[in-house]
Amino acid sequence: MFYFLFLFSFLFCQQELVDGVVATVGDKTILFSEVLSETRMLAEQKNISPQDSPLMFQRLFDSILKDKIYLKVVLIEAEKDSLFSVTYDEINSSLNERIDVFTNQVGSKENLEKAFGMSLGDIKNNYWETVREELLIEKFKYTLLGGVSISKKEVLSFYEEYKDSIPSFSERSSFSVVQKKITASKLSEDAIKTKLFSLKDSLNTNLLSFSEAALKHSQDPSVSLNKGIMETSRGDLVSEYEKTAYSLLENEIGGPVKTRFGYHLIKLLEKKGEKIKSQHILLTLNPSKKDSLFSASFLDSLKIQTKNDPGLFDSLAVSLKNENNPYSGFFENTEILNFPPVVKTFLKNGNNYSFSPILYEDGSFYYIYKYSFIESEKRSPQNSWVFLESLATNKKIGQFFEEWIQKKLESTYVKINNSF
């Protein structure tokens, strides 16, 4: 989470605002811009408008300021203790890891430097101390709170006090499922590529213009509005498209190129640094009736192969899980909330220890073996001890930390500037 706060807080800080010290903790300061930028980001995530809900926005600001004051207190205590230190390699490694995350978010190191308005070296220099403090705080808190333990009696007492507000189990089941998504066959893909190669020949011999071909053939939903023309920066488009587009000369046509959207012909119209203007024709990979029949017949053969052998089906279900068929697998006592409706319906209503018919929903076929189903039920020490122990421990840690902070605040200089 810190990675994204680190990035987005910086970007929010680029907006013009009056800045100054909003709080002083010992010899440490907290800037108004730091608190406001994080408040804006979290308010946006929670759909809180400072104009429409000023009190809620202020509460969020106050909560973030309080957290920052607490962290400064921890930092002061950590810096007093010679046992706690952070090495150059630890800071450098953490910074590099965060920069890698940001680079993936924005598409390239060049885009990252543009977003921050500085070189990578300057980014590291500017945030070196911030990361050092972050790592030192983490080490100190780990040592401070790591020794907090909880007894069985405390867990049971926690359960009795909070049992009405502890979330229930959702519906659970033990089962195996094989998903077979209907995908275009190699034959279907070859037909699309052949059509695009033929179209490319016509375009290269000027038998028709690219705009005419886009309007006539492209299956991009926006083609009627833009004729397939897009003005983008590096990182805006899928990597396969960009790799080809940036390699072309102006007015050169490349492709066919496969992306998750289908196959493209790409024409580079203009290139200025990291910005390009390109035009494309998209043919989507729509499975044919034969492709649908193939997927259904695959499950039919699986049904025959695994008849009366749930164990074999379990093994095959696990082996057939992939990015196209993410629901395949063996699941034991698993919450079924996020499975497709057709799968949930069988798990709720089908007989235990039985196979389903071959089911279909939203472009995929499913074949299921159901072992058991458990209705939604309240959590108890008998069915959720580890979960309850974790909740109780976290509450005890929170109380311990709050008491520790309040004690340290008694001897720590804190001044809040209410003029903002």
Is the model's pLDDT at 4 over the cut of 80? no
Whether the link from the prior residue into 256 is cis, omega within 30° of 0, is: yes
Alpha helices in 16-87 (DSSP H): 32-45, 54-80
Write the pLDDT tens digit of every residue in 159-190. Answer: 999 999 998 888 999 999 999 999 888 888 99
Is the model's pLDDT at 6 over the cut of 70? no
Output the pLDDT for position 109.
Answer: 80
Output the pLDDT for position 3.
Answer: 45
Is the model's pLDDT at 105 over the cut of 80? no
Helix H or strand E encompassing 167: none
Output the pLDDT for position 365.
Answer: 96
DSSP of 310-337: HHHHHHHHHHT--SS-TT-EEEEEEE-T
Nearest-angstrom CA–CA distance, 137 and 85 = 10
Nearest-angstrom CA–CA distance, 44 and 220 = 31
Output the pLDDT for position 197.
Answer: 95
Write the pLDDT tens digit of every residue in 37-72. Answer: 889 888 888 888 888 899 999 999 999 999 999 999
Output the pLDDT for position 7.
Answer: 44
Residue 144, burial from CB neighbour count under 10 angstroms (0-12, 13-18, 19+): middle
Beta-carbon neighbour count of residue 142 at 10 Å? 9
Smallest CA-to-CA distance from 274 within 234, 308, 219 is with: 234
Token pair listed for 89: 């390699």
Q: By the 8 A CB rule, do 95 and 127 touch?
A: yes
Output the pLDDT for position 405.
Answer: 95
Nearest-angstrom CA–CA distance, 35 and 307 = 62
Write the pLDDT tens digit of every residue in 375-416. Answer: 988 899 998 999 999 999 999 999 999 999 999 999 999 999
Mean pLDDT value across the chain: 90
Output the pLDDT for position 117.
Answer: 83
Average pLDDT in the 321-343 region?
Answer: 95
Nearest-angstrom CA–CA distance, 342 and 67 = 45
Output the pLDDT for position 318.
Answer: 96
Q: By the 8 A CB rule, do 105 and 115 touch?
A: no
Average pLDDT in the 250-257 region?
Answer: 94
- Which tops the pLDDT comparison, 152 or 100? 152
Output the pLDDT for position 57.
Answer: 92
Output the pLDDT for position 102.
Answer: 81
Whether the link from the prior residue into 50 is cis, omega within 30° of 0, is: no
Beta-carbon neighbour count of residue 99 at 10 Å? 19
Q: By the 8 A CB rule, do 263 and 190 touch?
A: no
Output the pLDDT for position 133.
Answer: 93
Domains of the chain (ranges, CATH numbers): 2-146 (1.10.4030), 172-183+289-374 (3.10.50), 186-283 (3.10.50.40)
Average pLDDT in the 147-157 region?
Answer: 95
SS (H, E, C) 152-206: HHHHHHHHHHHCCCCCCECCEEEEEEEEEECCCCHHHHHHHHHHHHHHHHHHHCC
Q: Are strands 262-272 and 172-181 parallel, antiparallel or unpaired?
A: unpaired
Output the pLDDT for position 55.
Answer: 92
- Residue found by looking up tokens 């810190």 in the block: 2
Output the pLDDT for position 186.
Answer: 87
pLDDT band at 12 (very low <50, low <70, confident <90, very high): very low
pLDDT band at 9 (very low <50, low <70, confident <90, very high): very low
